[in-house]
Structure 1
Amino acid sequence: MGSEKSDDGGASLPSQSCRDAKQRKVTYFYEPSIGGFYYGQSHPMKPHRIRMAHSLIVHYGLHRHMHVSRPFLASADDVRRFHSDDYVQFLSTVSPDLAVAAHANHSNYRTLRRFNLGEDCPVFEGLFDFCRVSAGGSIGAAVALNRGDADVAVNWAGGLHHAKKAEASGFCYVNDIVLGILELLKIHKRVLYVDIDVHHGDGVEEAFYTTDRVMTMSFHKYGDFFPGTGHMKDIGVGQGKNYSLNVPLNDGMDDESFRGMFHPIIQKVMEVYQPDAVVLQCGADSLSDDRLGCFNLSVKGHADCVHFLRSFNVPLMLLGGGGYTIRNVARCWCYETAVAVGVEPDNKLPYNEYYEYFGPQYVLHYKPSKQDNLNKPEDLEKIRTKLLEQLSRLSHAPSAPLQTTPSVADVPEEEDEDTVMDVRPYCHLWNGQDFDSDHDEDVNDNTKSSNLAAGLG
């Protein structure tokens, strides 16, 4: 496989292989109201980043290469396919006023704490509608793949991988990924889930920990870092044993090192597991200079994961996730949309509603920072070898009758002699610092309403 030199901040990446030359049918889900949801002034999660990404996508003309669809709002019954009845009932009725009043009512306050609503996961206006948009897009993406209407389906409002069956976590309330995968399993025997967010994809792993119909893979920072899970020894239990793979990494992960882990492990997974569909969570907090992340990937290095998985010609769902330096999130998801449709956009950004956010360079590909890579080659080799050994224990791709769906019940704990490595300390994803102090992150901007949908016709 050949390679090409990058002159815009990315590492040298592989040229397009002959097996990747096939044109793809791409369906893109976008709800214009998504950018209006607001976690709070100082909160790092900004749904506005999705509107910014959409702006770049439209001004690059990428929407002309794909089918653009407005997602339906997932119903409470749709959400209950994974989440518990009482949790869904709570999400659908809670409001900021009720949350404020709960502090004067011990019983109601206990309910907030029970479902983990608080600093990381605040109650904001339109909370359940926000969840319905995210979940509706991922379920709709799965339906498009199931029907054969799309080869690649994109929902940048999805990817909220921390949400649990009856609990919010890490800025996530409803696990749209699990709901999308459950929809895929109606048609497909095996689904591969891959997560490149800097944080471990714990909610998705937990949901499918006991089944072989879904293999989960997460490339993430491990250690004293939210959510504190994702050790290599977490491999699944029962029928799901060896079908959970975790790639724990250290600070400063760069393009070359990441690609050296991603390509051989994914290649082996595709050969051994033979998934009928793939879901890729493209959390952009693994990019260089993210406000909560600690990796050092370029936009091209991040998008190389999309390019590589696309090359296998398997139905592919692309979802969003983390990402807290919003101008870089918009760059990343715009470029990965371009990769999905097979277009190489110009590095110079077209003028758009948020042009000032991307100064002073005004380019799609920014240069990663000069950050030390704390991932030693010998350590990465050990991890890679260990994971390839785990995959070698899977003698053949599992089969399952289509009417059987994996359980989404609570996951049993697996005993391990090395109790130190199994410690699961609870930690916050965010330390409460103000994230609206800089001009380019000040996105409480209701004057810039979403008029971009008009450009889609």
Structure 2
Amino acid sequence: MAFNNEIVQAWVAPDPSPLTTSVEYLSYKQLNAADKERVHQMEAEENGIERPQGYTVSFHYNPEVEQHHFGSKHPMKPWRLQLTKQLVFGYGLHYAMDLNESLPASMSELARFHDNDYLNFLRYIKSPADIQKRHREELNRYVFTDEFNDCPIFDGIWDYVTLCTGATLEAAHSLSSGQSDIAISWSGGLHHAKKRQASGFCYVNDIVLAIQHLLEKYVRVLYIDIDVHHGDGVEAAFFNTDRVMTLSYHKYGEFFPGTGGPDDTGPKGYTEPGAYFSLNVPLEDGIDDKDYEWLFRRITGRTIEVYKPQVIVLQCGADSLGGDRLGKFNLNIKAHGKCVEFVKAHNLPILVLGGGGYTPRNVARTWCHETALCVGATLHDELPSFIPYRQAFEGPSHGSGLLYPELNIKRLSHPKTYERRDLENCAARCEEQLRCVMHHPVVSMARYPQLGTVLRAKQEVDAEIREELEDRGIQDEVKRRKQERATGRRGEYRSIVH
């Protein structure tokens, strides 16, 4: 997710929605609840949608997240989630899944990774007009005043981050508790946020929090990122552990965030925890469907074979599609979906997340298609006529009302800046790195001994340390104030004039 100070605008008020309702939707809207249900059922029957046999898919979402607004000129548009939801429900995919309207994440849940002071700042901050003086120090501390700041302050920011994170945490819990085998949270996948800093349109890192939750049950978690930008926030959070392996496919070079090079493999030195457990696949502009799929299958397949993860977290950032407002790749929707299809074929629990994507109509198409892949459904190309904002998908420049328009057409495609041997060298380098992982003790570990006991003990120790530091801070403050009141008395230093 790219940074550009020109796209960051102060929040004033939501701009008028660019979407207009279709004529068919206006007719549909007049129907009673039973007739609306029949319309959806007919659509589901036409697509052959039914609950998958042998596994359960859950869908986690809170529609209130759609109402938030980064600014009229900012490329991040939360209403892309509204378009996604309408396509998912329009095709009848909801009949094949367990639907969960998630609750916002709590302060204590966010504090498992993020700094409390930073969270308090997000919790109480308002629009820029209200904070010029009162919160200037915090703005500087958390880099919100940096010239390249791409994370604007907007009204409702706390609600937005807690809603996104709440859906992802609920999805992770659904996996760890055995309620579902594939859990989807399209509002999540905000992979750039750091412990005490927003970055790349991401304020809170729901992925890190979800992986922390999964580690309470699973020994090894594989994180796969197909966003066009490097998953730097997740990699940094688990930099020093071997229980999480991060695998990121992304554009590299003069491109945000500038990390994830071929030599970024984790801590240096084989004896360091986490060494070689950061696997990066830097790519050049213009990669197409065939090359991306070949590379993904080869590297991801070998990674799963070597690392033997017990659960996979898959971030499906849609800015790697052709025609994206910020991305530089030439992928079509079905090629992007091949990644989901390939990971699903390994029959492991999967947490499926959203991420980047700045051409909203194509984001919605992609995540609808990948929802269908999760439940094993095949969708017809013509979009349902009764979805509310069908006009957003119509016209030659918007995909002509199709679910699978060609996205790498000549006038929109990026020139290919690599050769086949570059991909082969990249794959060979990754396989060489995986050899360093192959015989690591964690790979052969079936279960983490007394994992729950260890985690509880760690939490108790952390709490005791915090209390001790707080007590010490209070005592030091009292001592300092007494000394200030008694400056110059016996025992104090004095300046001596000769």
Give per-residue Cα distances to partners, 1:53-89, cap 9 Å, x unaligned. 0000001000000001011210010000000111111
Equivalent residues of 1:23, 1:342 under 8 A apart: no
Superposition deviation, residue 178 in structure 1: 0.3
Give the aligned partner of residue 114 of structure 1: 141
Distance in 1 between residues matched to 2:84 and 2:438, nearest whole Å: 42
Q: Where in structure 2 are the equivalents of 1:121-132 lying within 5 Å?
A: 121-132=151-162
TM-score normalised by structure 1 residue count:
0.82
Alignment equivalent of 1:348, drawn from 378, 382, 397: 382
Distance in 2 between residues matched to 1:219 and 1:398, nearest whole Å: 26
Give the aligned partner of residue 119 of structure 2: 88
User: Which amino acid is 2:358 matched to?
Assistant: Y
User: Which amino acid is 2:189 matched to?
Assistant: G
Structure number with greater CO (CA < 8 Å, separation at least 6) is 1
Secondary structure of the structure 2 residue equivalent to 1:227:
coil
Give the aligned partner of residue 425 of structure 1: none
Matched, 1:246 2:246: no
Secondary structure of the structure 1 residue equivalent to 2:273:
helix
- Between 118-127 and 144-153, report the one with greater CA deviation: 118-127
Matched, 1:100 2:129: yes
Give the aligned partner of residue 179 of structure 1: 209
User: Which amino acid is 2:409 matched to?
Assistant: S
Superposition deviation, residue 377 in structure 1: 0.5
**TM-aligned CA distance change 1:32 to 1:393, over 3 Å:** same
Give the aligned partner of residue 152 of structure 1: 182
Distance in 2 between residues matched to 1:398 and 1:195, nearest whole Å: 24
Give the alignment's Cα RMSD to 1 decimal: 1.7
Give the aligned partner of residue 261 of structure 1: 295
Q: Where in structure 2 are the equivalents of 1:430-449 lying within 5 Å?
A: none
Give the aligned partner of residue 388 of structure 1: 431
Matched, 1:376 2:376: no
- Between 215-224 and 260-269, report the one with greater CA deviation: 260-269
Secondary structure of the structure 2 residue equivalent to 1:279:
strand
Superposition deviation, residue 22 in structure 1: 6.1
Equivalent residues of 2:307, 2:438 under 8 A apart: no
Superposition deviation, residue 103 in structure 1: 3.1
User: Which amino acid is 1:150 matched to?
Assistant: S
Query: Structure 1 unaligned runs (5+)?
Result: 1-20, 409-457
Distance in 1 between residues matched to 2:235 and 2:132, nearest whole Å: 33
Alignment equivalent of 2:198, drawn from 152, 168, 183: 168
User: Which amino acid is 1:111 matched to?
Assistant: E
Q: Percent identity?
A: 45
Matched residues, number? 384
User: Which amino acid is 2:426 matched to?
Assistant: I
- Between 262-271 and 207-216, report the one with greater CA deviation: 262-271
**Whose helix proportion is higher, 1 or 2?**
2
Give per-residue Cα distances to partners, 1:165-188, cap 9 Å, x unaligned. 000000000000000101111111
User: Which amino acid is 2:401 matched to?
Assistant: Y
Secondary structure of the structure 2 residue equivalent to 1:68:
strand
Give the aligned partner of residue 308 of structure 2: 274
**TM-aligned CA distance change 1:89 to 1:104, over 3 Å:** closer
Superposition deviation, residue 266 in structure 1: 1.0
Distance in 1 between residues matched to 2:393 and 2:423, nearest whole Å: 34
Superposition deviation, residue 230 in structure 1: 0.5
Secondary structure of the structure 2 residue equivalent to 1:157:
coil
Alignment equivalent of 1:336, drawn from 370, 383, 389: 370
Moved over 6 A (4+): none
**TM-aligned CA distance change 1:126 to 1:101, over 3 Å:** closer
Secondary structure of the structure 2 residue equivalent to 1:318:
strand
Give per-residue Cα distances to partners, 1:310-336, cap 9 Å, x unaligned. 000000010000000000000000000
TM-score normalised by structure 2 residue count:
0.75
Superposition deviation, residue 117 in structure 1: 2.5
**TM-aligned CA distance change 1:305 to 1:22, over 3 Å:** farther
Alignment equivalent of 2:169, drawn from 119, 128, 139: 139
Give the aligned partner of residue 364 of structure 1: 403
Secondary structure of the structure 2 residue equivalent to 1:393:
helix
Query: Structure 2 unaligned runs (5+)?
Result: 1-51, 460-498
